[in-house]
Structure 1
Amino acid sequence: MGWVQYFYNEARDKASATGLSMPTFDEFWAKGYVEFKAPEEAKNFVKMKDFRDDPITNRLGTPSGKIEIFSKKIDKFGYDDCKGLVQFYEPAEYLGNAKKYKLNLITPHPKYRLHSQLNNTFLRDFEEVEGKESLWMNPIDAKARGIKNGDIVRIFNDRGEILGGVLVTEYVKPGVIRMQEGSWYNPNKKGLCLHGDVNVLIADIPSSKLACGNQATALVEIEKYTKEIPALDLFRQPKFKA
């Protein structure tokens, strides 16, 4: 509760510095929300109005000062995976070039945690299946593999393997599985992650030579896991000698 009050007061101080009035924390907490009424000028907001009114004086932050559909600067870099004109580049792995592995794993941000933060708290109980990171799977794909809701499965490709708990749902399309990133890594002696860390399966390559963003998808296969499942040990406190 102290943190909530601290963050609110920080925001209140910043708002006051810009001439925006906010109630005290106690007043806010009693009411439950803070209402900010939009001024009339905000209701009539026009995107990049200054630039549109006078593009010479109000140049944009691009090399030309204009909206650039084609970038001469980026084109001069000579990158084969990021040219001067926005265009489609075939991903290294997706259903369009799937051969050995037929399922496209997507890895969105978690709903209840911040990446891997808070994964060792009660928030795990909201989504995990039998102590494993949950995996959404379309009924068509599940039936084809003899998998049902609540099963523990092995998700694998040439990079590695992890365990996950299945939630059969039509919220993902056939050929696609959804598993959140951020689950803590807990490998056994053979490298099988018992908890469900998707990083094990994702290629360690940049999105392009220019952006160098992270890849967040991979092609995988899934099978029902029938072996004995060891207990997780990553959440246990280490023992210290006095």
Structure 2
Amino acid sequence: MAKPLDRPQQLATPTGRIEFYVERIKQFGQELPIYIEPLESARSEKAKSYPLSLLSTHPSNRVHSTLANIPSLLKSDPEPTLEINPVDAKPRDISGGDVVRVFNGRGQVKVRAKLSQGIKPGVVNIIEGWWPEQYIEGHLNQLTHDEINPVQQHILQANAAFYDVLVEVEKG
């Protein structure tokens, strides 16, 4: 079988191959799948001030921010919204369509609330990929942290973690 474009078929790993088991991450307690508490979780001290876990899921009709300005797509999904379960919305006096402030110690964003039984109580979601000017105020990225999981650095996947961000939500 010919090699495509006559270039070495090696990955940027010590072995040059896909590594299903990575010895060098044992030092982080990752030799077998185990639960490690996220940097920010419902059990952390921060949860007293910011009790909701923020997700930033991918849009179904865009690739991140690509196509976020296409008029035909904006007809069905015109602006960023916060998905929140009615269980969490009620004590905050939030109704569907209300402008809400989503905030933590790093920043804030203002969007409209969208009540959804499809999201777990204690969790909220803002779909990622919106342009800054599409928010009422602020931006989703102002809420996230830039801590990198040390394990990810050793498996060549250093990324910001968008599923361990705590926030609070209020009307207005």
Aligned counterparts of 1:94 and 1:106: Cα–Cα separation in 2: 12
Aligned-residue CA RMSD in angstroms?
A: 2.3
Shift of 1:177: 0.6
Structure 2 unmatched runs, 5+? 1-16
Aligned counterparts of 2:138 and 2:113: Cα–Cα separation in 1: 11
Structure 1 pair 104–73 and aligned structure 2 pair: CA distance change class (3 A): closer
Structure 1 unmatched runs, 5+? 1-60, 188-192, 226-242
Q: Which residue of 1 aligns with 2:111?
A: 164
Task: Give the TM-score, by structure 1 length.
Answer: 0.55
Q: 2:108 touches 2:139 (CA, 8 Å); kept in 1?
A: no
* Highest RCO, 1 vs 2 (Cα 8 Å, sep ≥ 6): 2
Task: Identify which of 81, 90, 94 aligns with 2:37.
Answer: 90
1:1-242 equivalences in 2 (<5 Å): 61=17, 68=21, 71-75=22-26, 78=27, 80=28, 83-97=30-44, 98-122=47-71, 123-128=73-78, 132-186=79-133, 194=136, 197-208=139-150, 209-210=153-154, 211-217=157-163, 218-225=165-172
Q: 1:93 touches 1:219 (CA, 8 Å); kept in 2?
A: yes
**Percent identity of the aligned residues?**
34
In the alignment of these two chains, the number of paired residues is: 148
AA aligned to 1:109 is H
Shift of 1:173: 1.0
SS in 1 for 2:132: coil
